[in-house]
């Protein structure tokens, strides 16, 4: 997909829900209803910062999937932010207008599952807020296992405990509470699915535990978006259109192309979906792969790059564009 149809929305509410985490309620700027969505969906929020910088960040929808009166998202201010999350925290207030994409779901509920184990770490709780509402509406069997540093850093704890009671299991690292994932997974009935979202190390660990206790790969689901990391500036040569584009230190290749009016494929902009995969023609330095899509072998081959998050360490990268 390229150039999503954008919808103009107005920020109706902003609420601080934990340290460095805010909730935003977005309504259609013209007063129209918003399309219903499936739990696990995200939208891309377009933000225009100073100096002409444009961010298009993916945020999970946390509101009820069948509620067209507004969408809600939750944003953690990242310490290493290139500016997008800081813009949302410092520059967005009730009344601010933004543009969002239509909802896209890369993390759907496996409707055939007999039971659903949701594993969240920190801000990774966000897709599960909508999932739990959908699962509850379906009268499905589910549990949330939520690992947090402490209550002040755990968005939505009170709400989750009030709404779902004993289905919610909290593990507080400030109290030294261990997360016995292996025993949790070992006790589940056949046909249970696990979904995990949170820091990369936690996702890797949870998937590894799932495999180690013998769960089939198709019952293990994860979602992780990577913010494009900054790096040294380099030049992208477009082999087919014969153009040279400079990628700035704070830009992704995709953002640099868009800045110059070049329409490139994307969907998640976070290294997860594979939509922006591009063939590498030549590179005078190492490729810096930051995506979660290419296999280790594909990364080693140097033949492909995900232009939404990955970079080149050399001075020139030639792409089949």
**If binding is defined by CB under 6 A, does position 274 make contact with ligand FES?**
yes
Give the ranges where 195-282 is alpha helix by DSSP (H): 200-212, 253-259
Q: Which is nearer to ligand FES, 198 or 270 (CB)?
A: 270
Q: Which is nearer to ligand FES, 155 or 270 (CB)?
A: 270
How far apart CA 9 and CA 103 sit, in angstroms, is 13
Minimum distance between the CB of residue 21 and ligand FES, rounded to whole angstroms?
Answer: 24
**If binding is defined by CB under 6 A, does position 291 make contact with ligand FES?**
yes
**If binding is defined by CB under 6 A, does position 266 make contact with ligand FES?**
yes
Ramachandran assignment for 83, one of left (phi > 0), alpha (psi -120 to 50 degrees), beta (any other): left
Q: Which is nearer to ligand FES, 135 or 308 (CB)?
A: 308
Minimum distance between the CB of residue 299 and ligand FES, rounded to whole angstroms?
Answer: 13
State the burial class of residue 16 (Cβ atoms within 10 Å of its Cβ: 0-12, 13-18, 19+): exposed
Total chain residues near ligand FES (CB under 6 A): 14
How far apart CA 275 and CA 291 sit, in angstroms, is 12
Only one of the segments 40-48, 60-68, 162-170, 274-282 lies at the binding site for ligand FES (rule: CB under 6 A); that segment is 274-282
Give the neighbor-by-neighbor strand order of the sheet with 115-121: 168-172, 142-148, 115-121, 192-197, 220-223
Residues from 296 through 315 that contact ligand FES (CB under 6 A):
306, 308
Residue with tokens 């209550």: 151
Asked whether 290 and 226 are in contact (CB, 8 A), the reply is yes
Q: How far is CA 58 from the centre of its chain?
A: 5
Ramachandran assignment for 88, one of left (phi > 0), alpha (psi -120 to 50 degrees), beta (any other): alpha
**If binding is defined by CB under 6 A, does position 273 make contact with ligand FES?**
yes
Minimum distance between the CB of residue 166 and ligand FES, rounded to whole angstroms?
Answer: 37
Asked whether 247 and 234 are in contact (CB, 8 A), the reply is yes
How far apart CA 205 and CA 148 sit, in angstroms, is 16
Only one of the segments 165-173, 189-197, 213-221, 271-279 lies at the binding site for ligand FES (rule: CB under 6 A); that segment is 271-279
Residue selected from 101, 275, 290, 318 as contacting ligand FES according to rule CB under 6 A: 275
**Which residue(s) pair with 171 in the sheet?**
147
**If binding is defined by CB under 6 A, does position 268 make contact with ligand FES?**
yes
Asked whether 284 and 307 are in contact (CB, 8 A), the reply is no
Residue selected from 272, 287, 317, 321 as contacting ligand FES according to rule CB under 6 A: 272
Instruction: Give first-to-last CA distance, the chain, whole Å.
Output: 16
SS3 51: helix
Residue selected from 267, 294, 317, 321 as contacting ligand FES according to rule CB under 6 A: 267
**If binding is defined by CB under 6 A, does position 41 make contact with ligand FES?**
no
**If binding is defined by CB under 6 A, does position 107 make contact with ligand FES?**
no
Residue selected from 276, 287, 294, 319 as contacting ligand FES according to rule CB under 6 A: 276
Q: Which is nearer to ligand FES, 180 or 274 (CB)?
A: 274
Only one of the segments 115-123, 143-151, 181-189, 270-278 lies at the binding site for ligand FES (rule: CB under 6 A); that segment is 270-278
Give me the residues that bind ligand FES (CB under 6 A), please.
266-269, 271-276, 291, 293, 306, 308
């Amino acid at each position: 997909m390229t150039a999503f149809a954008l919808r103009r929305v107005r920020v109706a509410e902003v609420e601080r829900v934990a340290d460095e985490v805010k909730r935003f309620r977005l309504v259609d700027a013209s007063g129209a209803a918003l399309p219903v969505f499936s739990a696990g969906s995200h939208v891309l929020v377009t933000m225009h910062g100073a100096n002409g910088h444009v961010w298009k960040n993916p945020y999970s929808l946390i509101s009820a999937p069948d509620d067209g009166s507004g969408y809600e998202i939750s944003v953690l201010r990242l310490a290493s932010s290139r500016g997008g999350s800081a813009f949302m925290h410092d520059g967005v207030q009730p009344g601010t207008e933004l543009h969002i994409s239509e909802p896209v779901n890369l993390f759907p509920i496996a409707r055939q599952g007999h039971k659903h184990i949701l594993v969240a770490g920190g801000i990774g709780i966000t897709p599960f807020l909508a999932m739990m509402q959908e699962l509850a509406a379906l009268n499905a069997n589910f549990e949330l296992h939520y690992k947090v540093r402490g209550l002040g850093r755990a968005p939505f704890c009170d709400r989750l405990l009030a709404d779902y009671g004993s289905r919610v299991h909290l593990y507080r690292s400030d109290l030294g509470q261990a997360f016995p994932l292996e025993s949790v997974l070992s006790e589940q009935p056949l046909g249970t699915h696990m979904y995990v979202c949170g820091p990369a190390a936690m996702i890797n660990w949870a998937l590894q535990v799932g495999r180690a206790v013998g769960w089939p790969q198709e019952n293990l689901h994860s979602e992780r978006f990577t913010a494009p990391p900054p790096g040294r500036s380099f030049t992208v040569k477009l082999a087919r259109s014969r153009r040279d584009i400079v990628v700035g230190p704070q830009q992704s290749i995709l953002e640099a192309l868009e800045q110059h009016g070049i329409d490139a494929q994307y969907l998640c902009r976070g290294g997860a979906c594979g939509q922006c995969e591009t063939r590498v023609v030549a590179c005078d330095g190492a490729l810096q792969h930051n995506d979660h899509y290419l296999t280790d072998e594909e990364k080693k081959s140097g033949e492909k790059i995900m232009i939404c998050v990955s970079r080149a360490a050399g001075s020139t990268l030639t792409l089949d564009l």
